[in-house]
Structure formats: structure tokens, C-alpha cells
Structure 1
């Protein structure tokens, strides 16, 4: 795998909603993580002509943010994220909308049960972290609230 291919994979990973990516081939082992609680670690190991080259960096990717979110709304379960209560319906909330504590902000479907996810805080939705129909995991951040 060439350096430009690795750069492309990292760029695609940063733009995706994935939180962890592990890729292993004959000559490359790549592990990327966006876990905010741990330092971001990118480790690339390339083996060629019986030489092992290892590069480990603890640098976080460059993120351009005007303001840091003060609150988050997390998924309490694993399931499918829906932004509206009906197919092809209007989203319950979108970036810029004001929300109140207890307001339904999305639906997470698990085992054919539609679970209403409510906001634990008052504020303004800063960012919607998942697209409609995406799979979410337990404790994944669904929305950031300022």
C-alpha cells in the first residue's frame, strides 16, 4: 500500500461517521480511532524487504470548529437512527433548532421497536452526527447541543 492510498483512507475516515477503523493487509496494519475520551492514535506499520517501519503519532486531526459543543445527546441503545417519526417525514430536529429537555429529537429502531430519544438538556442543536437510516451503537453521540 502506498503513502497516498493511506492518506486517502485517513481522509475518508475523518469524513465518515465511523469511530474506529482497523485495516490489515500483507504489508500494512492501520488502526484509526475518533474516540474523544482517548487520544487519537494512528499507527501505520509497513513491512518491505524484511524491514519493519513503524510510525505512531498521538496527534488529533485538524478540526475547524467555531465553538465547541457543551452537551451531547447519546444513543441509549444499538439500532437504526431515524430523523423523523414517519418514512419521508420532516426531521424532528435539525442543526440550528432549539430543543427543550424531554423533547423527542429522533427515533432509534431496535428489534422492530421504535424508541423515541429525548433531549436531556435545553439548548440549540449544533450538529446531527448520523444520517437517516444509519446504524448507531450504544452511547454513540447522536447530536451536539450548545
Structure 2
């Protein structure tokens, strides 16, 4: 792999807000990361994600714009762990919340079962449940969006 190209890419991203560059050729795969400072945590107004993919062989750039309009309008409750999502405390019981319900800070929204332990997930704001993003009994990943809540 041409190390001059690698050093040129490193020089190009220095001083920018680009955190990571990854590309692959027939000779191998390269990932370059740079530290751009502490990240600002914004849970209710994330900016749209713009991803640029470039083919090395044919140099055919593709731009994908993923506008997360739902997440921009609402507060997002994310899964704090990997497990199984349950909307109710037990089979046959009514769900903790439905779409359209008003919730208060500390109110249980769902349960995530991990390693046979039932973990209650609570609302961290007062507001109205706009959308429930996961079906009952479905597996969830760490950081996966579970609920959109419109702040009160």
C-alpha cells in the first residue's frame, strides 16, 4: 500500500472535524482516526448524518443523506443495555405505556431482560409518548432507540 497516500490523507484531515476515514483496496484495509476533542452530548436534537462513500477502483463518490427528522423533534429514550424488550411487567398484563400517553420523569416505560434480570427503563423527562420503536419480545442492542417522547 502506498504510504505516501496514507500520509497525505492524514495531513488532509488534520485540523478538520473529520474523526475517522476508512478505505479498502485490493492490498488491504486502512482506518485512520483522529481525536477531535470531547463530544457534545445532544439527545433531543441530533444533526442529520451525511456519509460519503468512495470506491477506490472507479472513484465513484456516492453521498447518502440520512435525515433523522423524528429524532430531531423528540427526546429519544435509548436502551442502556443489550437484552429483550418487554412492554408489560408480565404476559397478559397491560403495557406500561401506549403511544399518546403522558409520562413523568421516573415513570417505568418498559423492561429489558438481560441475563434473567428484569431491568426497568424509566423516562428521564416529562412528556407524551409519540412513538414506541420496538415490538414486545424483540431483542434490543445497547444504544438502540426505544421511544420518542415529546417534552411537556
Instruction: Name 2:88's counterpart in structure 1.
Output: 84
Q: 1:87 to 1:43 in 2, by over 3 A?
A: farther
The number of aligned residues is 105
Residues 38-71 of structure 1 deviation map (CA, whole Å, 9 limit, x = unaligned): 72548597xxxxx95845122226x786x95331
TM-score, structure 1 as length reference: 0.60
CA contact (8 A) 2:103 2:123 kept: yes
Q: Distance in 1 between matches of 2:54 and 2:136?
A: 33
1:59 counterpart SS class: strand
Instruction: Name 1:56's counterpart in structure 2.
Output: 62
Q: 1:106 to 1:53 in 2, by over 3 A?
A: same
Instruction: Name 1:102's counterpart in structure 2.
Output: 106
Instruction: Name 1:39's counterpart in structure 2.
Output: 49
2:66 counterpart SS class: coil
Give the structure with higher Rg (CA).
Answer: 2
Q: 1:78 to 1:56 in 2, by over 3 A?
A: same
RMSD over aligned Cα atoms: 2.8
Q: Distance in 2 between matches of 1:120 and 1:106?
A: 13
CA contact (8 A) 1:69 1:126 kept: no
CA contact (8 A) 1:69 1:145 kept: no
* Unpaired segments ≥5 residues, structure 1: 1-35, 46-50
Q: 1:136 to 1:98 in 2, by over 3 A?
A: same
